[in-house]
Structure 1
Amino acid sequence: MKFTKPITFLFFFSLALFSCQRQGTLKASKTAKQDFQVDFEKFTLANGLTVVFHVDKSDPVVAVALTSHVGSAREKEGRTGFAHLFEHLLFLESENLGKGGLDKMSARIGGSGANGSTSRDRTNYYQTVPNDALEKMIWAEADKLGFFINTVTEQVLAKEKQVVKNEKRQSYDNAPYGNTSYVIDQNLYPKDHPYHWQVIGSLEDLQNATLADVKEFYRRWYVPNNVTLVVSGDFEPGQAKAWVEKYFGEIKKGEKIPALEKKPVVLSQTKSLYHEDNFARLPELTMAWPSVYTYHKDSYALRTLATLLADGKKAPFNKLIVDEKQLAGRVNMYQNSAELAGQFMLSIRGYEKVDLNLIHAAVQEAFQRFEQEGFSDDDLNRIKTSQEVSFYNGLSSVQGKGFQLAQYQIFAGDPGFISKDIQNMLSVTRDDVMRVYQQYIKGKPYVVTSFVPKGQVNLALKGAQKASVVEEKIVEGAEEKFDASAKADYPRTPSRFDRTVEPPYGKAPETRVPNVWEKKSENGLKTLGITDREVPLVMFNLRMNGGLLLEDSSKVGVSNLLSELLLKGTKNKTTEQLEEAMDALGASISISANEESFTISGRTLARNYLPTMALVQEILLEPRWDEQEFKLAKQRVESQIKQQKANPNSIADNSFKKILYGKDNILSRNLLGTEASLKAITLTDLQQYYAANLSPSVATFQVVGAVDQQEVATSLAGLNQNWKVKTVRMPQFPSPPAPSASQVYFYDVPGAKQSVLRFGYLALPVTHKDFYPAQVMNYILGGGGFASQLTQQLREGKGYTYGIGSSFSGSNVPGPFVIQSGVRSNVTYESADLIKQILQNFGPAYSAQDLEVTKGFLIKSNARAFETMGAKLNLLHNISAYGLPYDYAKGREALVQEMTLDRIKALAQQYVNPNKMYYLVVGDAATQLQKLEQLGFGKPILLK
């Protein structure tokens, strides 16, 4: 289950049902250029459950979201982390679904993955399923609310504590700058403020949680009158109401829950703290000012202020700190609003060994420059257009619409607040922005943290006090023991009907493959498109074969640098002017390089599609080749490379590529390059790569959205005429064979609280006849989330990890089969050995039931395979890159239907042999290296 920190303008969802009923229509804004409506119906059950329905017939899917109005703010000091702990517990078991709960059912019904998230103020549970499973979902969600708590035993609680503690280690304790929010919140919010502690809680509090504590928390907050149910998608409201009444109606109402009062923070003085971070390689300055709660009228102007100050070439913080003083590669600023209070955040990660006192002084200078220079109406309008695009993008799926409706219901008291929300965004004035700057930021006290690498306290702000950060010690056998297989014995909650009987499926939906059109231009450019008018947006990719594969092995990093530089102005536009032109259109254009391709991607309002494509043409055909921007880009990339050297997951990914491909294969290299190769690259190298390799003859344009084929043809006319054809020869590299015997590698990160695992070998290209069958086989092994054996045994059975999975990934060249995870440091060997056992037993023990679950998921999930614009773009990519037929999803569906037990066993024997793969561990060598010899693969090789 996913833990997320609250982020501004995130789309959350909720739950609600029966009583006083009304119909509402949501409009994007009276000032928006194009109306966008989301119809909803809201009602309340007699027990207080709020329900919101939104009908969307565009795809045969339905999203169901249950949200409890409880987050970390409703916890008690000393018992923190309970809201997030419940996010985990509610997926494990319920009285009528049995062990495995919703996760187990999700695998059968083709759900997109039951998941949840916790914030300071709410906890939600959600899933998108084919619409024939709606009754099953309502039945399952009702079990969470009325038929769950009896299944939580001492053993269940002990196991899930370990999972949550692993999540904390992975996301905070074992990550660079992972404790920043902890230090900020401890000092920004007083001890009696509900935002004083972290959403995930402390390791000590989690360990001290008792079963009685857990049950008290559940009975207080998980009651119908504190919950909202949202159903969004293709369903019949009359039937859905009857199901909601049947399954939720008899659940008893809880005690009245009074609303928490808003609790804004006032600082009497600035607080400065520092921390030596074991995983950081660069110094980072973070500043937090008290601000306002969600939907406060000033929150909109503060959000706009943050964009004006730091986002883009023209922004004073970017201009001064990044371009002129060259102290950092970027500046991150945002307004973070929650239900009770908010904070205005500024974060700057300096270049290596930059004194944070210099950055702090530059911050004050940038504020002064903003006061002196101000901003124009054009600047403000560009930001509003960008916010409008983000708003629409959040509503582009049934789940996104459901999230928004729930968010508005819980925190604004009305799903219809959607129209007021965008109106508030678009009505911010210049006076509003300057007023909130004066009121909340200028001259006001703040909390500031200096996170510096170990041994570099001299880089921290002068006068900063040492922050209090609790760091866990690695102790063998320190965790409490539990038996996850123990059967719970509990009294059953009475019901008016037999809830143990799972509801039947409805009418099976038919897989709807989008209509694809295709055209090839005279210059060789292929175009594939899908018209989709659900939201007034267009998304596109212009993909060229190449990327890392076409680079000189002595100067790796050229294609990545080129992707950065092409967005830094054109022949007739400076970087600032180009950014202004994009913002004015509400267009987002990005360029990326990967191992095998170079891609220009974009998203824009449909009404601005043609001028957006004119900008794409200008970017591609008329580069500016600015020397200063090139220098700045090299600085940023060098900083990224240094950061990767401190991040255990980046270390694992880069090291594993070297092991897989060998030193002579270009694909073994880090796409960013090395510090040495970066220094050797000149602007001429980029120009030569550009001139030789960016050609329509190896390019495909893929487009999805509210645009038809003729409009697309018009938009590409200039490229067809002016983009000259070049002969591009893709190099052929021999694919290294899989190892004949397994070997263990270890990369030492002293003091690591977790060990990062990468186990696997180089397997298959997408075009191989066994590639998709191998993915089918892998579903039960490690590709099926909570349906997979790796998750069930390492997370659910042992509590060793927060997450683990396995996958086959490839392209036109063979890609790896890889198992990846982060496990508790003191069970590194035990985890590796258990994975080895799972692989050994997987084929022989694969059962008819495993095959049935796999077929159920892969076939039924096709109903939601192409719902989003992103999914449709991926369809076009697969068709164009790998020569798949337009309806390849139907062919894969037939392949799954025909899959046999013997075929799965043969695939497992051939492609997941534990004795013929590489085992890489990134962790603390002093405590973990020697034990890995027990795997039986010889002495581990220590990497540098």
Structure 2
Amino acid sequence: MLAAAVSAALFGCAGQQESKATLPAGVTLLETVSFSGQDVGIPYRKYQLANGLTVILHEDHSDPLVHVDVTYHVGSGRELEGRSGFAHLFEHMMFQGSEHVGDEQHFKMVTEAGGTLNGTTNTDRTNYFETVPNNQLEKMLWLESDRMGFFLPALTEEKFEVQRETVKNERAQRIDNRPYGRMGERFNQAFYPQGHPYSWPVIGWPEDLDRADVEDVKHFFQRWYGPNNATLTIGGDFDEVQALAWVNKYFGEIPAGPAVAEPIKELVTLDEDRYLSMEDRVHLPLIRMGMPTVYARHEDEPALDLLSNILGGGKTSIFYKNLVKDGFAVQAGVSHPCQELACQFSLYALANPAKGGNLDAIEKIMRDSITEFEQRGVNDEDLEKVKVNFEAATIFGLQSVQVKVSSLAFNETFSGNPNMIGSDLARYANVTKEDVMRVFNRYIKDKPMVVMSVVPQGQKQLIAKADNFVAPTEKVAAVAVQDLNVKPQITSKFDRNVVPPVGAAPVLKIPTLWQGELANNIEVIGTETNETPTVEVVVYLNGGHRILDVQQAGLASITASMMNESSLKRSAEDLTQALEMLGSNVSFGASSYQSHLKISALTENLDATMKIVQEKLFEPAFKQADFDRVKQQLLQNLQRQLTEPSYLASRAFGTLLYGDKSPFGVSSGGSIESVSAITLDDVKAFYQRQYTAGNAQIVAVGNLSKDQMLTKLSGLNSWKGDKTPFPELAELPTFSGGKIYIVDKPEAAQSVIKIGKRALAYDATGTFFKSYLMNYPLGGAFNSRINLNLREDKGYTYGARSYFSGGPEQGYYQATASVRSDVTTEALIEFIKEINEFQATGMTEDELNFMQNSISQSKALDYETPYQKAGLMRNIQRYNLDDNYSEQQTKITNEVTLNELNGLAKSQLKIDDMLILVVGDRAKIESELSTLGYPIEILQL
């Protein structure tokens, strides 16, 4: 149905040349892929170097940027039992410099170039990527090639130890200190047989990380990081002939590594139901069930994906009806995630304690729901909506060069064919009702599964069934890497110490904006973009939490949730079904200063989507049953958030700065007390105050002209209502710094530190903006003083930063990090030292140049996607800015003086004006913190 739209989305901005006259020596053109008519795909050329490196080039000249991705076909699945965590640890190590790139210089060079960068690791692959202005491509290829070919000479014991600590901090932050964080790794131990490469976590077991050494890291690099196990993909605004010459220069002389065989794919099986449980610092009992199916790209994968959607894919699913709608669960769902070697048919539910929270009862409902599907079968709409949504997601997912590059790299790595979009669409389009029932009977019906219960500490009586599985004792492999053949040392044919020059700065393509009004005077700001046949519209309603009495905190959020429920004409399920059949999304939300309505649609389906928007906006049903369920879900989620250290820290920080009488000091999501008091009548009254034409402003991006867009939005012309004034703010509390506040979080693996004060309201070109520039080298960039100290030098944290945040009326300054509990005091000392030194002496000339280059050149990346364009326009609209305010910011950035910025540092960064908040295990941290000489106060939340 959407083939033409998909084709336009993927082919419309391509700029492929038909032939290349001469290829560099050693480079082979493997294929040229282009599209026309109804064909679907991303045009590209695929090459191979003599050393086995696969190179994919996709030209897209719509924005002045390039995205570079190097994907290595190695993840945690290549590790050995007892030697886990190497792939992820190595991802960190690869940012620590190489023979010709100094320590911390990779991040610095990319950031200073105005780019962004990162790396990720999963079970099957590791990738490194950068998005930069188009004049920086050669430098990126130099950087990536140097760590591929010249990493080992720069590897030191000290770097290894720091990154091992950083990985431990990441594990503590993302797993040990997070509710349900350890569930996945425990579940996988039961799901996979011992020794299976997915039976251990990607981040590794702590004891495995402890037994690793530098030699292990060297061997892992030598085994897996050869060019013959990598794919280099470049997309964006570049000249293909020049790019290929650079690729051959920088990568061509790197020797191939050991041969890499495809991993063996064997279907995982279970012989009986396996039950396991764990107690955790959580509020909501959770049950997770799963059974093995196939592996990625298996012929049955699409039918299993569709089956999971029918069972638990949202408000139209069986799970939602039986578990969430009836109030037994706060959340529930079914999915079918696939990896290279295995897929899981995964089912979960977060039990509602108000209904008892017993997981044995929830398990029965889940199993009964599977039986209900068998009896109900598959209907035509089930198939159609899933297929339409898959096709629509394909279009929306290709609005950036990065996503297109990622798609090409992924498909090449795991199938040897970058051109898989069309065939993937066909795989899903061809699924029949009989296919879905066949895979249900083969993989799901009456099949053994793993059933895991996660319950609050001390409430073991809530588990689904007594444990019958105990994880086996880990076997430790004698070596970390097998089949090791060391690559020969490279003698480069040119001087790699010379940083490649960059071309002229790109000409920025700032969107051409238009402004208009609907017939009822609602302001509309928009821009036309023809890269995809899609429309993104956001209706902003000024007000939100700001127009409420703090005793009604949470009312804006709960009202927005009610707007996502039934209308007077249709149920929430029927409305969701109608949107899914169009491949559209319509959602309401609320925040501190506004409520909003987000609309995403294929252009051809915008008219039909807007009719649903009008129904939801103008005719909400506000049913008591919906309200009772939504309120209960919100209350349970608030209880859950009280188990999260980061939430506790944010809540306490706001209250300390602004007091509990100000909307800035009380969470917009509300508290258990405030939400408990909200009634349906409150929701109806707030709807009348908030959802009026007088409060509304609209931002629109799509492949429509101004007149066309305004015509499509004309259904909102009948909207009425005046603007709601903001109430007067309560007087702010007297603020005093120089004090440590502790929020006790017993057994916390990390401490959350926040240092800050009330600061400046937002401005685009004044003191607030200049303060942002001032803070950039202190805590605003990855290679800022604070992050390099606490993360890279000391290994105290996974990441530390500082920033100014400003709204229309108030703002604050904050320096923050989650640190290991045992170094809470030491980390706080370093924070204070860095802020004091920067306040006293300011930034250096080199830091000024770095900041100016980084921020001004990053503008090339700012307006690529529809939502980036929408963000620019909303800022103009919200703060009444000039259309060219972004250019004014660039001028200020390039002309601001060192003296002016350092003067701001002196006035804005006085540590004695700042409070210090620590959320952590009081029993472990208080005595040491008391040695710092600050008065300490214990906060109760």
Query: Normalising to structure 1: TM-score of the pair?
Result: 0.93
Q: What CA distance in whole angstroms lies between the structure 2 residues aligned with 1:579 and 1:942?
A: 43
State whether structure 2 residue 168 is matched by structure 1 residue 165: yes
Question: Partner of 2:231 in structure 1?
Answer: 228
The offset of 1:908, in angstroms, is 1.1
Deviations along 1:334-365, whole A, 9 cap, x unmatched?
11111111111111111225000010010111
Q: Aligned with 1:672: secondary structure?
A: coil
State whether structure 2 residue 656 is matched by structure 1 residue 659: yes
The offset of 1:123, in angstroms, is 0.2
Question: Partner of 2:638 in structure 1?
Answer: 641
The offset of 1:264, in angstroms, is 1.7
Deviations along 1:564-618, whole A, 9 cap, x unmatched?
1111121211112111111111111111110110000121111111221221122
Q: What CA distance in whole angstroms lies between the structure 2 residues aligned with 1:18 and 1:543?
A: 53
Q: What CA distance in whole angstroms lies between the structure 2 residues aligned with 1:369 and 1:875?
A: 48
* Aligned residue among 310, 313, 324 for 1:311: 313
Change in CA separation of 1:469 and 1:638 when aligned onto 2, cut-off 3 Å: farther
The offset of 1:426, in angstroms, is 2.3
Question: Partner of 1:344 in structure 2?
Answer: 345
Question: Partner of 1:478 in structure 2?
Answer: none
Q: Aligned with 1:834: secondary structure?
A: helix
The offset of 1:693, in angstroms, is 2.3
Q: Aligned with 2:806: secondary structure?
A: coil
* Aligned residue among 139, 148, 151 for 1:148: 151
Equivalent residues in 2 for 1:104-183, closer than 5 Å? 104-112=108-116, 114-183=117-186
Contact 1:524 1:698 in 2 (8 A): no
Q: What CA distance in whole angstroms lies between the structure 2 residues aligned with 1:783 and 1:36?
A: 41
The offset of 1:933, in angstroms, is 2.4
Question: Partner of 1:860 in structure 2?
Answer: 857
Letter of the aligned partner of 2:303 in structure 1? A
* Aligned residue among 534, 539, 542 for 2:539: 542
Q: Aligned with 2:43: secondary structure?
A: strand
Q: What CA distance in whole angstroms lies between the structure 2 residues aligned with 1:692 and 1:865?
A: 35
* Aligned residue among 22, 25, 32 for 2:31: 22
* Aligned residue among 241, 260, 265 for 1:262: 265
Deviations along 1:365-419, whole A, 9 cap, x unmatched?
1112212222321222112111112112221111110000000001111001221
Deviations along 1:222-278, whole A, 9 cap, x unmatched?
00100000000000000000000000011001121111111220111110000011x
Letter of the aligned partner of 2:340 in structure 1? E
The offset of 1:211, in angstroms, is 1.0
Deviations along 1:178-225, whole A, 9 cap, x unmatched?
111111111111112111111000111111111111111100000010
State whether structure 2 residue 293 is matched by structure 1 residue 291: yes
Q: What CA distance in whole angstroms lies between the structure 1 residues aligned with 2:176 and 2:63?
A: 42
Question: Partner of 2:876 in structure 1?
Answer: 879
Letter of the aligned partner of 2:832 in structure 1? K
Letter of the aligned partner of 1:72 in structure 2? S
Contact 1:60 1:863 in 2 (8 A): yes
Deviations along 1:157-189, whole A, 9 cap, x unmatched?
111100000000111111101111111111111
Letter of the aligned partner of 1:287 in structure 2? M
Question: Partner of 2:221 in structure 1?
Answer: 218
Q: What CA distance in whole angstroms lies between the structure 1 residues aligned with 2:816 and 2:289?
A: 35
The offset of 1:466, in angstroms, is 7.3
The offset of 1:520, in angstroms, is 2.3
Question: Partner of 1:776 in structure 2?
Answer: 773
Question: Partner of 1:65 in structure 2?
Answer: 69
Contact 1:866 1:872 in 2 (8 A): yes
Contact 1:737 1:762 in 2 (8 A): no
Q: What CA distance in whole angstroms lies between the structure 2 residues aligned with 1:346 and 1:88?
A: 33
Q: What CA distance in whole angstroms lies between the structure 1 residues aligned with 2:76 and 2:637?
A: 33
Q: Number of matched residues?
A: 899
Letter of the aligned partner of 1:526 in structure 2? E
State whether structure 2 residue 753 is matched by structure 1 residue 757: yes
- Give RMSD over aligned pairs: 1.8
Equivalent residues in 2 for 1:505-654, closer than 5 Å? 505-654=502-651
Q: Aligned with 2:42: secondary structure?
A: strand
The offset of 1:845, in angstroms, is 4.5
Q: What CA distance in whole angstroms lies between the structure 2 residues aligned with 1:747 and 1:939?
A: 11
Question: Partner of 2:332 in structure 1?
Answer: 331
Unaligned runs of 5+ in 1: 1-15, 471-490
The offset of 1:469, in angstroms, is 11
Q: Aligned with 2:807: secondary structure?
A: coil
The offset of 1:723, in angstroms, is 0.8
231-240 or 599-608, larger mean C-alpha shift: 599-608
Question: Partner of 2:397 in structure 1?
Answer: 394
Equivalent residues in 2 for 1:477-516, closer than 5 Å? 493-516=490-513
The offset of 1:151, in angstroms, is 1.0
The offset of 1:302, in angstroms, is 1.4
The offset of 1:465, in angstroms, is 4.2
Deviations along 1:273-297, whole A, 9 cap, x unmatched?
00011x2111100011101211212
State whether structure 2 residue 845 is matched by structure 1 residue 848: yes
Question: Partner of 2:13 in structure 1?
Answer: none
Contact 2:409 2:418 in 1 (8 A): yes
Q: What CA distance in whole angstroms lies between the structure 1 residues aligned with 2:802 and 2:35?
A: 42
Contact 2:194 2:472 in 1 (8 A): no
Q: Aligned with 2:200: secondary structure?
A: coil
State whether structure 2 residue 449 is matched by structure 1 residue 446: yes
Contact 1:36 1:535 in 2 (8 A): no
Letter of the aligned partner of 1:323 in structure 2? K
Letter of the aligned partner of 2:919 in structure 1? V
State whether structure 2 residue 899 is matched by structure 1 residue 890: no
Letter of the aligned partner of 1:725 in structure 2? G
Q: What CA distance in whole angstroms lies between the structure 1 residues aligned with 2:35 and 2:331?
A: 37
Letter of the aligned partner of 1:65 in structure 2? D
Q: What CA distance in whole angstroms lies between the structure 1 residues aligned with 2:470 and 2:800?
A: 33
Question: Partner of 1:12 in structure 2?
Answer: none
Contact 2:518 2:714 in 1 (8 A): no
Contact 1:63 1:126 in 2 (8 A): yes
State whether structure 2 residue 317 is matched by structure 1 residue 321: no
Where do 4+ consecutive residues of structure 1 move more than 6 Å? none
Percent identity reads 37
Q: What CA distance in whole angstroms lies between the structure 2 residues aligned with 1:521 and 1:609?
A: 17
Q: What CA distance in whole angstroms lies between the structure 2 residues aligned with 1:880 and 1:403?
A: 34
377-386 or 142-151, larger mean C-alpha shift: 377-386
Change in CA separation of 1:626 and 1:297 when aligned onto 2, cut-off 3 Å: same
Question: Partner of 1:869 in structure 2?
Answer: 866
Contact 2:661 2:730 in 1 (8 A): no
The offset of 1:106, in angstroms, is 1.1
Contact 2:360 2:465 in 1 (8 A): yes
Q: Aligned with 2:526: secondary structure?
A: strand
* Aligned residue among 748, 753, 766 for 2:744: 748
Deviations along 1:503-542, whole A, 9 cap, x unmatched?
0001220122100111123423110111111112211110
Change in CA separation of 1:268 and 1:148 when aligned onto 2, cut-off 3 Å: same
Letter of the aligned partner of 1:607 in structure 2? E
Equivalent residues in 2 for 1:628-707, closer than 5 Å? 628-707=625-704
Q: What CA distance in whole angstroms lies between the structure 1 residues aligned with 2:470 and 2:938?
A: 38
Contact 2:177 2:748 in 1 (8 A): yes
Question: Partner of 1:5 in structure 2?
Answer: none
Contact 2:538 2:699 in 1 (8 A): yes
* Aligned residue among 263, 282, 289 for 2:284: 282
Q: What CA distance in whole angstroms lies between the structure 1 residues aligned with 2:254 and 2:672?
A: 62
The offset of 1:304, in angstroms, is 1.4
* Aligned residue among 903, 906, 927 for 1:906: 903
* Aligned residue among 709, 716, 721 for 2:706: 709
Deviations along 1:801-844, whole A, 9 cap, x unmatched?
00111121222121221122110110001111110010000140
Letter of the aligned partner of 1:19 in structure 2? T
Question: Partner of 1:480 in structure 2?
Answer: none
Q: What CA distance in whole angstroms lies between the structure 2 residues aligned with 1:685 and 1:557?
A: 11
Q: What CA distance in whole angstroms lies between the structure 2 residues aligned with 1:796 and 1:495?
A: 30
The offset of 1:313, in angstroms, is 2.9
